[in-house]
């Protein structure tokens, strides 16, 4: 055993700060917000959802694998006939299938068309502490790729608002969100995803909620074990066109057969 005798206590403190502290420090390096925004924009997409007769909608998604798996909310892809992902440089990507849906935690995974994508790193939401700074990159009110920041206000259990809020354990956050932010990643300043935005409480200010990233990892694992794919249309559906054609054909038959006055010969 080697013993070191230090006569100067101040020198010992400096030695520990310089050489021992880096060995026990486990926190990840934080990234400046402008740099973080530049990194995130390659991994976050706008989701434009066509629901047919049920209308359309927008949301946010983000890549969690290099082969094109995108995470978002279940309510974003609900009743979808076609989904189009749009990147920050306006590249449009067809979403081929809905891979998995977790209605209880309002999460969904969809598969983009083949390509090479930049996934975000999934962090451990169980390590998140109240007061920790976070950022969100999403599409509030269609304002594409908006970066907002805030803190984790609390780590809450289910039904913290007696039915008015999420019915599952969740993160309460102050980063501003709006319609279109659903499915946005909630990230630490080191760029790790610790949650997925699900909703906000409109009767209050900056009272917003996110599902912990552990639930997302569980859904991804379950999807890999037993996928439940739902194929989406990759273009214009022929069914509405066929229905319209039949309708107008019947209308034309009725008009020419029963309603149009016959042309006679004048005398």
pLDDT at residue 165 greater than cutoff 70? no
pLDDT of residue 22: 42
**Fold match, 43-119+226-231 / 121-213:** yes
Tokens of 213: 């990233």
Give the mean pLDDT of 130-154.
95
Least confident of 39-48, 52-61, 67-76, 232-241: 232-241
How many other CB atoms sit within 10 Å of the CB of residue 101? 21
Confidence of residue 255 (pLDDT cuts 50, 70, 90): low
55-91: pLDDT as tens digits:
999 999 999 999 999 999 999 999 999 999 999 999 9
Q: Which of 125, 148, 181, 182 is catalytic?
A: 182
Spatial neighbors of 137 by CB under 8 A, at least 6 apart, are 37, 40, 41, 44, 60, 62, 145, 146, 147, 184, 185, 187
Q: Hey, which residues does 211 pair with through a beta bridge?
A: 196
Residue 42 annotated as catalytic: no
**Mean confidence (pLDDT) of the chain:** 82
Domain ranges of the chain: 43-119+226-231, 121-213
Region of residue 221 (left: phi > 0; alpha: psi -120 to 50; beta: else): alpha
- More confident position, 5 or 30: 30
Catalytic residue among 43, 50, 75, 223: 75
* Second CATH level (architecture) for the domain 43-119+226-231: Beta Barrel (2.40)
Q: How far apart are CA 222 and CA 105, in angstroms?
A: 14
In this predicted model, what pLDDT tens digit does every residue of 98-124 receive, in sequence order? 999 999 999 999 999 999 999 999 999
pTM for the full model?
A: 0.75
Mean pLDDT of 15-21: 44
Two tokens, residue 202: 């409109």
Q: What is the pLDDT of residue 11?
A: 54
4 has pLDDT over 60: no
Asked whether the beta carbons of 62 and 193 are under 8 A apart, the reply is yes
Of 121, 118, 117, nearest to 192 by C-alpha is 121
Instruction: Say which of 43, 50, 102, 106 is annotated catalytic.
Output: 106
In the predicted structure, residue 249 carries a pLDDT above the cut 70: no
Mean pLDDT, residues 140-169 taken together: 84
Query: Which of 13-17, 59-63, 208-212, 250-254 is predicted with the least confidence, judged by mean pLDDT?
Result: 13-17
pLDDT in tens, 167-201: 788 999 999 999 999 999 999 999 999 999 998 87
Buried-state track 236-258, b at ≥16 Cβ within 10 A, e below 16 = eeeeeeeeeeeeeeeeeeeeeee
Question: Which are the contacts of 157, defined by CB distance < 8 A and separation ≥ 6?
Answer: 169
The pLDDT value given to residue 7: 58
State yes or no: is 170 an active-site residue: no
Q: Which residue has the tokens 């306006």?
A: 90
What confidence score (pLDDT) does residue 28 get?
A: 74
Lowest mean pLDDT among 31-45, 118-132, 185-199, 227-241: 227-241
For strand 121-122 and strand 192-200, is the pairing parallel, antiparallel, or unpaired?
parallel
Neighbours of 191 (CB within 10 A): 20
**Fold annotation for 121-213:** Thrombin, subunit H (2.40.10)
Question: What value does the mean pLDDT take over residues 239-257?
Answer: 51
Residue 18 is predicted with a pLDDT of 44
Q: Indicate if 199 belongs to the active site.
A: no
pLDDT at 6 over 80: no
Residue 163 in this model has a pLDDT that exceeds 80: no
pLDDT-derived band at 240 (thresholds 50, 70, 90) equals very low
Q: Is the pLDDT of residue 31 over 90?
A: yes
């Amino acid at each position: 055993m080697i013993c070191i005798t230090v006569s100067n206590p101040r020198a010992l403190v400096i030695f520990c700060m310089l050489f021992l502290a880096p060995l026990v420090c486990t926190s990840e390096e934080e990234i400046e917000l402008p740099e973080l925004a530049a990194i995130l924009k390659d991994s976050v997409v706008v989701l434009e959802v066509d629901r047919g007769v049920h209308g359309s909608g927008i949301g946010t998604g983000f890549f969690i694998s290099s082969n094109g798996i995108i995470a978002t909310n279940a309510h974003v892809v609900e009743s979808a006939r076609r989904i189009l992902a749009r990147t920050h440089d306006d590249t449009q990507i067809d979403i081929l299938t809905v891979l998995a849906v977790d209605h209880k935690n309002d999460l969904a995974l969809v598969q983009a068309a083949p390509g090479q994508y930049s996934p975000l790193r999934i962090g451990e939401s169980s390590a998140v502490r109240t007061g920790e700074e976070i950022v969100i990159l999403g599409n509030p009110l269609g304002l594409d790729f908006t970066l907002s920041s805030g803190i984790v206000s609390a780590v809450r259990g289910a039904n913290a608002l007696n039915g008015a809020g999420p019915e599952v354990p969740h993160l309460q956050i102050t980063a501003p969100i709006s319609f279109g932010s659903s499915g946005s990643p909630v990230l630490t300043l080191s760029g790790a995803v610790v949650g997925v935005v699900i909703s906000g409480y409109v009767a209050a200010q900056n009272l917003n909620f996110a599902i912990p990233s552990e639930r997302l990892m569980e859904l991804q694992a379950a999807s890999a074990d037993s996928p439940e794919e739902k194929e989406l249309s990759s273009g214009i559906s022929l069914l509405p066109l066929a229905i319209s054609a039949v309708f107008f054909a019947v209308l034309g038959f009725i008009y020419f057969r029963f309603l149009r006055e016959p042309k006679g010969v004048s005398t």
